[in-house]
Structure 1
Amino acid sequence: MDFEITGSTAAEIADSVRALRERGVVRPGDALPPVRELAATLGVNRNTAVAAYRQLAQAGLVISKGRGGTLMAGGAPLAQEGVAADTVLHDIGSGNPDPRRIPDPSAALGGIVGRPVLYGEPVIDPGLEHWAREWMLADLARDDLRISVTSGAVDAVERLLAQALTRDDAVALEDPCFLSSIHTVRLGGYRGVPVPVDEQGMTVDGLQAALDAGVRAIISTPRAQNPTGVSLTAARAAALRKVLEPHPYVLIIEDDHFSMLSAHPYASLIAPGHRRYALVRSVSKFLGPDMCLALAATDPTTAERLAMRLNPGTTWVSHLLQRLAHAQLADAGIRQQIADAASHYAERNSAFTAELLSRGIRTDSTDGLSLWVRLPVPARVAAERLMRRGWLVRTGDEFRIDEASPVSDHVRLTVHDLSEADTARLLDDLESAAR
């Protein structure tokens, strides 16, 4: 080791490594000293060194390779949701809705202009709040329910965690997990604790283990979990609520992103007596990603803390945008278009799944905008083979919380908008890539 790490606390040690990185003293791929060696050199407790490396890992600055040691992370960008930039390949991993299925807002635009909103007024528009309350209460019958508005679901999750947690607090995440949730937890300085997902949702044993590990918040996707497409069953939800009974102050965040498009009923982790909760529903999947707006139904304490992070003038959610969302959501014709889109996605996914099954390839669910396809070869191998045939897919490895976990055998495919010819070609190429 030709560099010197200093510090007597975890924060000081982590800052020392950051400074070495910024000055170019350590570079991507360089190995940091083992925990025991670093602790002995600095004269600190081993747990202090462990905490320092954990902070660096959560910030994406180092990668733990288990017995391979701790390495400085490379400069490669983190995987992000959406269309891949600068590629000539046919991108079937974007997870995007079909633009032809997004309602045209033109007719609603004329009715949203009214009295200007001034500083200090309520953050949420009254019309949208009234509509959202009825929507949420239909599924989450809570007498204490409050409605808040944020700039999308990711913004809601980030603010909800920030109002409840401090750095290094533990958060339970579904494994495999939505990319934005992984990034939000990592960049917030929290510890992500993986909870396995099976065909019924979060596993009971996994959640119990996370609670035993001291998680202070849980992020759950009740329907069309991304990337697996799995929806929480009523029986599994009841079992999870039972596990949560002794932990009423653990913040439950339910990201019901596919709400209006899902063919499955809403099942919840939030019991009637749970004290800290948030049901978050964005409109991006059915009104379009550019309608950057989400509604959060929360308990009063969480609502008050969230409001402090939504002060008008700094993080104001445009009332024009709120009125536009409300005008569309309250329109029976547009709600029918959303229902038609839901049928379209379900039918296309089911048809593709049936064709895959006839070729010996299975998917875990057909709910959502994408399919989670299990292959008999490692996902990265299949992705490389598909790339040579002109396809760009997402491998399951991108959605892992723990980089030391086994290599994935899943790929995520967005196929609902493919032409008949492209669908047939992809099926043939998947069959070849799986050999």
Structure 2
Amino acid sequence: MRIRGTTAAEIAGSVRDQVASGELAPQSSLPPVRALAAELGVNRNTVALAYRRLVEAGVAETRGRGGTVVAAVPQLAREGVGVGVGGDRIDLASGNPDPELLPDTLAAARRGDYNRPLYGVPAVDAGLDAWARADFAEDIDRPFRTLVTHGAVDATERLLDSHLTRGDLVAIEDPCFLASIGTLRLSGYRSAPVRVDGAGMRPDALRAALEAGARAVVCTPRAHNPTGASLTAERAADLRAILAEHPQVLVIEDDHFSAVSARPYHRITPPSSARWALVRSVSKFLGPDLRLALVAADAESTVHLEARLSAGTTWVSRLLQHIARELLLDPRVHELHERAREVYARRSGLLVERLHAQGIEVPHRPDGLNVWVQLDVDARAAVAALAQRGWAVRPGHLFSPDPAAHPGSIRVTSATVTEPQAQAFAADLASVVAELRSSAG
């Protein structure tokens, strides 16, 4: 490796050229700042600035005392992928909704007035926009506009990219949605984990993240994935009061389970927030393949999103919008959502009850598709032992920016669990815990 240059731009360019040519492989260590400065005959501040530009560009990453290394594409966990389900193993890991509780998208595609739109048409279906504005108006008491994005993850990523730069600090729940971790890592943002309890984000943890310099907050107001927690009215008020002290912070609320949640929506965005967005995807109740989310946001954020989603570039398929509109306006789908709300609540409650009967406590009654179980044994060992008994679940550390966090927690997807399965799983988990306690003792 031979890095050349006498200015920060030349040094950074030399490193980038070697990364592009393969001379510098991912995870390769760059020379210490002082050593490279001496070798090139330049001030150490020049090398430090070059390294900072490489980090900002995502070419390198800093590891404290470990120095600066060439960045690699992060290996990220995803929902429904790599959980090892197969054969006789029962899937309590994927995080998916029950297919039987999703409407018929193909039938909806054939209904209505879809007219094969061409370039230049409005980016948002008028009927879907009207439905979304009415839906959001029930919860937002200030002016807003609605847009359609390619799902909640797409909306969150575009909103963050519109207002932040690489290296900025973002407050996210801990544990949190898998895709949130991936979004932050791939975009080069730093995570400020905010611990979650049964009532949602903890106020003291949010305050600490904001005082540490967080420039954005991403919060799930209900049916939090992975814990199933939902904000109470009191907790939401506490969080609003804290955020009111930081009006410059971007607030994103990801209300992903809106149509089938058993809990009310409680808003954390205070009136003083200048930049905010409420995101409601349709994946959990219309189908994961409908890559679509409805977004209500302040005027500035809407302009930024609109520029990135303008017709002729990356607007969301009007066919997908047509399907979503037909489904959301269909009374039969509303009835299906009512049923799904009851079924998901009953199944998660059933699993919690069976776990309690085995002496495994779940501290709060969850909403959504998953149950978060805290154990006093190593979660990875428990997951492996459960796999041998025919169960697929996910270890808690996957749902945190810190891989050392939540060593005794597992996430169990309850969306399709039956009563016999809940009974058998609870018994097997209790047996696994007892065995691991015995071996540890």
The reply on whether 1:140 has 2:166 as its aligned counterpart is no
SS in 1 for 2:32: helix
**Partner residue, 1:310:** 309
**Partner residue, 2:129:** 129
**Partner residue, 2:243:** 244
* Alpha-carbon contact 2:4-2:10 (below 8 Å) kept: no
**Partner residue, 2:395:** 395
Contiguous gaps of at least 5 residues in structure 2: 38-43, 435-441
Alpha-carbon distance between aligned partners in 1 of 2:228 and 2:8, rounded to the nearest angstrom: 42
**Partner residue, 1:417:** 416
**Shift in alpha-carbon separation, 1:70–1:373, aligned structure 2, 3 A:** farther
* Alpha-carbon contact 1:92-1:415 (below 8 Å) kept: yes
The reply on whether 1:228 has 2:227 as its aligned counterpart is yes
- 1:309 deviates by 0.4
- 1:138 deviates by 0.6
The reply on whether 1:42 has 2:36 as its aligned counterpart is yes
**Partner residue, 2:201:** 202
Q: What do the CA deviations read for 1:338-362 (whole angstroms, capped 9, x no partner)? A: 1101110100110110110111112
Q: How does 1:291-330 map to 2 (within 5 A)?
A: 291-330=290-329
**Partner residue, 1:269:** 268
Q: Number of residue pairs matched?
A: 424
Alpha-carbon distance between aligned partners in 1 of 2:53 and 2:196, rounded to the nearest angstrom: 28
Q: What one-letter code is carried by the residue in structure 1 that aligns with 2:267?
A: S
**Shift in alpha-carbon separation, 1:238–1:74, aligned structure 2, 3 A:** same
Q: What do the CA deviations read for 1:111-168 (whole angstroms, capped 9, x no partner)? A: 23433423222211111111111101111222x1111111111111111111111222
* Alpha-carbon contact 1:10-1:52 (below 8 Å) kept: no
**Partner residue, 1:159:** 158
Alpha-carbon distance between aligned partners in 2 of 1:214 and 1:418, rounded to the nearest angstrom: 42
Q: TM-score, normalised by structure 2?
A: 0.86
* Alpha-carbon contact 2:84-2:392 (below 8 Å) kept: no
- 1:184 deviates by 0.9
- Mean Cα displacement is larger for which, 382-391 or 276-285? 382-391
Alpha-carbon distance between aligned partners in 2 of 1:161 and 1:194, rounded to the nearest angstrom: 16
Alpha-carbon distance between aligned partners in 2 of 1:50 and 1:392, rounded to the nearest angstrom: 46
Alpha-carbon distance between aligned partners in 2 of 1:226 and 1:46, rounded to the nearest angstrom: 44
* Alpha-carbon contact 1:21-1:27 (below 8 Å) kept: no
* Alpha-carbon contact 2:396-2:407 (below 8 Å) kept: yes
Q: What do the CA deviations read for 1:52-99 (whole angstroms, capped 9, x no partner)? A: 59949x9697795x8888888889842111243765343321100000
- 1:434 deviates by 1.4
The reply on whether 1:78 has 2:76 as its aligned counterpart is yes
- 1:397 deviates by 0.7
The reply on whether 1:117 has 2:117 as its aligned counterpart is yes
SS in 1 for 2:430: helix
**Partner residue, 2:438:** none
**Shift in alpha-carbon separation, 1:74–1:108, aligned structure 2, 3 A:** closer
Q: What one-letter code is carried by the residue in structure 2 that aligns with 1:429?
A: D
SS in 2 for 1:362: coil
* Alpha-carbon contact 1:83-1:91 (below 8 Å) kept: no
SS in 2 for 1:103: coil
- 1:334 deviates by 0.8
Q: What one-letter code is carried by the residue in structure 1 that aligns with 2:219?
A: S
Q: How does 1:289-368 map to 2 (within 5 A)?
A: 289-364=288-363, 365-368=365-368
SS in 2 for 1:114: coil
Alpha-carbon distance between aligned partners in 2 of 1:226 and 1:47, rounded to the nearest angstrom: 42
**Shift in alpha-carbon separation, 1:60–1:194, aligned structure 2, 3 A:** farther
Q: What one-letter code is carried by the residue in structure 2 that aligns with 1:117?
A: P
**Shift in alpha-carbon separation, 1:45–1:234, aligned structure 2, 3 A:** farther
Alpha-carbon distance between aligned partners in 2 of 1:252 and 1:122, rounded to the nearest angstrom: 27
- 1:424 deviates by 3.0
- Mean Cα displacement is larger for which, 45-54 or 208-217? 45-54
Alpha-carbon distance between aligned partners in 1 of 2:113 and 2:180, rounded to the nearest angstrom: 35
- 1:391 deviates by 2.2
- 1:26 deviates by 5.3
- Mean Cα displacement is larger for which, 246-255 or 73-82? 73-82
**Shift in alpha-carbon separation, 1:162–1:107, aligned structure 2, 3 A:** same
Q: What one-letter code is carried by the residue in structure 2 that aligns with 1:401?
A: P
* Alpha-carbon contact 1:363-1:374 (below 8 Å) kept: yes
- 1:207 deviates by 1.5
Alpha-carbon distance between aligned partners in 2 of 1:415 and 1:304, rounded to the nearest angstrom: 39
- Mean Cα displacement is larger for which, 15-24 or 94-103? 15-24
Alpha-carbon distance between aligned partners in 2 of 1:46 and 1:353, rounded to the nearest angstrom: 58
* Alpha-carbon contact 2:83-2:94 (below 8 Å) kept: no
- 1:170 deviates by 1.7
**Shift in alpha-carbon separation, 1:354–1:10, aligned structure 2, 3 A:** farther
Contiguous gaps of at least 5 residues in structure 1: none
* Alpha-carbon contact 1:60-1:186 (below 8 Å) kept: no
SS in 2 for 1:311: coil
* Alpha-carbon contact 1:166-1:190 (below 8 Å) kept: yes
